[in-house]
Chain A
Amino acid sequence: MSASDDIWILGISMTKFGKHADRDVVDLGAEAITAALADAGITMNDVGVFAAGNLMGSAGIAQQLQKQIGQTGIPAYNVSNACATGATALRTAIMAVKAGETDIGLACGVEKLAGAGLLGAGGQEKSVGHEWTPSGRYGAVGPIDGRIGTEAMPGVFAQIGMEYLHDHQYGGTAFELFARISEKNHSHSTLNPLAAYSKAMPLEQIMNDIMIAYPNTRPMCSANCDGASAAVVVSGEKLRTLSLEQQRRAVKVSASILTSDPFEQACQVLPNINTLTRNAAEQAYEQAGVGPDDLDLVELHDCFATAELVHYDNLMLCEEGGAVDFFESGAPWRDGRMPVNVSGGLQSKGHPVSATGIANIWEVCQHVRGEGGPRQIEGAKVGLAHVIGLGSACGVHILEKSGLAA
């Protein structure tokens, strides 16, 4: 084996997202892996490296999975990178293949979140009968969540969207604008049988639902749910030794990028999810040799309706500062110029955090393989998948239709 710049997805899968009350994380991860291996036409014997991620369960998900699906003695990496965990597992497998350590890698992300409360919120109230005692890095005498801003994700991402509107002097009604973005994604979800929620929602229903953190109502927030996804990656050299059918269905990973946020003033006050996404997109376009105009579809990290807007700009799908106009033009609807989140996005498909970073790549692969079924974007050849883990980590992958065995 030699170092390879030529990386392909040989097989990929996601489970249905939703409530899986009778199954644990290992069941879900094993289902995704088994399906990805079958999709790739290989077994665990062919896999040379394995990376897996899970945030909310017990430690060592990779080995827990190996014990159910196949213990072959290969290196196993447990990765954790917030909502970018799945993409990070995939990057880990890709790096090992790129480095020439092996020619086939496997990655899996799995989460059980159905019924989980607010992510990120910290309410570790001190026991009563107390003396105010400064602690932690702010010398705080009590929990700051709710007293100095919000720690919970809906409010953090609400502020990120509102900041964009402030910085670009938006004159319209913020609430309705963001609700219409959510309306688009819920509409898209009706064609996705694997989505946790696949019901269209009229604008009024979205706006009249329970307010979580203005301007995000409940349907404008990603749904906590259970799910898993897995992918098999292969070097180009190895792929060319496999069957014509495997070569034809393989999806080229034209770019695989992971960034963290570079320091800017105030980025530790309100998280800056913009700069690291723009950096990842720039590097991805450069690596893939494609530009935003070449994309046939985009799956971006709409963990909240307020987040989707800023990423139109960050991923350079529009002119700088032009995210509102881009949305108003109808471009990101599935019949628009640049379909965004035709899966229904995290707001309807659901967001089992560790699974999300591979599931969005699965969606793009369906389309560039021409296997998208009723929601196929006709003639799709190139797509981009984006994920953000707050803290922050950003993964961007550009996927291209195989030109092999054509």
Chain B
Amino acid sequence: MSTATTIPFVDYLVLEPEPHLIAHECTGCGARYFDRRNACAGCFATEFRDVDVASDGIVRSFTIVTFAAPGVEVPFVAALVDCDGTSVRGNIVNCPPDPEHVTLGMAVRLTTVAVGADDNGVQAVNYGFEPR
């Protein structure tokens, strides 16, 4: 039985020592991915190394979702964030979900969001981006 009290919501979120994202970077061409890989879609190489992704970024695109599938809380802001050249999907948090407060080109930073505890008391921790 695990003694961990927190678990990252996805495996590319690292919580310690400072929360940050990692990407699987192709050693052949430098392409970055967040999912488990079989090979690189760009150059077909099979070697990857984990690299830290910058935690500061700018909002390249966003949408404010007000109508979603059952079980998905609305409204929320879904965004594409350019973190120093690496594109990352994430929600914009700690910011009113309206187009007066969320804008294209807005500067944001990575933050963490509590998702809840499981039956063992382990807290799942997700990431989001907040204005900076």
Does B131 count as interface, using CB distance less than 8 angstroms? no
Report the separation of the CA atoms of residues A214 and B100 in the bound assembly, to the nearest whole angstrom: 12
A131-B118, A149-B78, A149-B91 known; A159 vs B124 contact (CB < 8 Å): no
Does B17 count as interface, using CB distance less than 8 angstroms? no
Does A391 count as interface, using CB distance less than 8 angstroms? no
- Which of A46-54, A57-65, A94-102, A120-128 is near enough to bind chain B? A120-128
Does B95 count as interface, using CB distance less than 8 angstroms? no
Q: Are B69 and A131 in contact (CB under 8 A)?
A: no
| Residue of B11, B67, B71, B115 touching A138 (CB-CB under 8 A) | B11
Report the separation of the CA atoms of residues A149 and B78 in the bound assembly, to the nearest whole angstrom: 4
Q: Are A146 and B68 in contact (CB under 8 A)?
A: yes
Chain B 53-65 against A: per-residue CB contact (8 Å), 1 yes, 0 no?
Answer: 0000001111111
Q: A121-B68, A150-B78, A215-B63 are in contact. List 6 more A-B contacts (CB 8 A).
A: A132-B7, A146-B91, A174-B99, A213-B63, A266-B80, A268-B33
- Bin chain A's interface residue count: 35 or more
A128 CB to closest chain B CB, in angstroms?
A: 9
Report the separation of the CA atoms of residues A165 and B104 in the bound assembly, to the nearest whole angstrom: 8
Which 5 residue pairs across A and B have the least CB separation, nearest first? A139-B11, A146-B72, A121-B69, A266-B87, A158-B63
B6 CB to closest chain A CB, in angstroms?
A: 10
B interface list, Cβ under 8 A from A = 7-12, 31-36, 41-42, 59-74, 76, 78-80, 86-91, 99, 104-105, 115, 118-120, 122, 124, 126-127
Q: Are A123 and B72 in contact (CB under 8 A)?
A: yes
A132-B7, A132-B124, A142-B124 known; A270 vs B66 contact (CB < 8 Å): no
For window 130-174 of A, CB contacts with B under 8 Å fall at 130-132, 134, 137-152, 154-155, 158-160, 162-163, 165-167, 174
Report the separation of the CA atoms of residues A161 and B105 in the bound assembly, to the nearest whole angstrom: 14
A138-B12, A149-B91 known; A131 vs B68 contact (CB < 8 Å): no
Q: Which of A130, A165, A265 has the most CB of B within 10 A?
A: A265
Q: Are A130 and B118 in contact (CB under 8 A)?
A: yes
B90 CB to closest chain A CB, in angstroms?
A: 6
| Residue of B11, B64, B120 touching A131 (CB-CB under 8 A) | B120
Report the separation of the CA atoms of residues A160 and B60 in the bound assembly, to the nearest whole angstrom: 10
Q: Are B66 and A132 in contact (CB under 8 A)?
A: no
Does A374 count as interface, using CB distance less than 8 angstroms? no
A148-B91, A270-B89 known; A142 vs B67 contact (CB < 8 Å): no
**Across-interface contacts of B67 in A (CB, < 8 A):** 118, 154, 210-213
How many inter-chain contacts with C-beta < 8 Å in the A-B complex?
166
Report the separation of the CA atoms of residues A312 and B99 in the bound assembly, to the nearest whole angstrom: 25
Q: Are B89 and A152 in contact (CB under 8 A)?
A: no
**Across-interface contacts of A213 in B (CB, < 8 A):** 63-67
B2 to chain A: closest residue by CB: A131
Does A21 count as interface, using CB distance less than 8 angstroms? no
B123 to chain A: closest residue by CB: A132
Would you mind naming 6 contact pairs between A and B with Cβ atoms under 8 Å apart? A141-B8, A142-B9, A174-B99, A174-B104, A266-B87, A270-B80
Report the separation of the CA atoms of residues A283 and B101 in the bound assembly, to the nearest whole angstrom: 42
| Residue of B9, B64, B74 touching A147 (CB-CB under 8 A) | B9
Q: Are A147 and B69 in contact (CB under 8 A)?
A: no
B9 to chain A: closest residue by CB: A141
Report the separation of the CA atoms of residues A121 and B74 in the bound assembly, to the nearest whole angstrom: 13
**Across-interface contacts of A122 in B (CB, < 8 A):** 69
**Across-interface contacts of A212 in B (CB, < 8 A):** 65-67
Q: Are B126 and A147 in contact (CB under 8 A)?
A: yes
Q: Are A132 and B122 in contact (CB under 8 A)?
A: yes
Q: Are A147 and B87 in contact (CB under 8 A)?
A: no
Q: Are A175 and B99 in contact (CB under 8 A)?
A: yes
Chain A 253-284 against B: per-residue CB contact (8 Å), 1 yes, 0 no?
Answer: 00000000001111011100000000000000
Q: Which of B60, B68, B88 has the most CB of A within 10 A?
A: B68
B122 to chain A: closest residue by CB: A132
**Across-interface contacts of A175 in B (CB, < 8 A):** 99
A129-B119, A137-B35, A159-B80 known; A148 vs B90 contact (CB < 8 Å): yes
Q: Are A162 and B62 in contact (CB under 8 A)?
A: yes
Chain A 203-243 against B: per-residue CB contact (8 Å), 1 yes, 0 no?
Answer: 00000001111111000000000000000000000000000
A136 CB to closest chain B CB, in angstroms?
A: 8
Q: Are B10 and A265 in contact (CB under 8 A)?
A: no
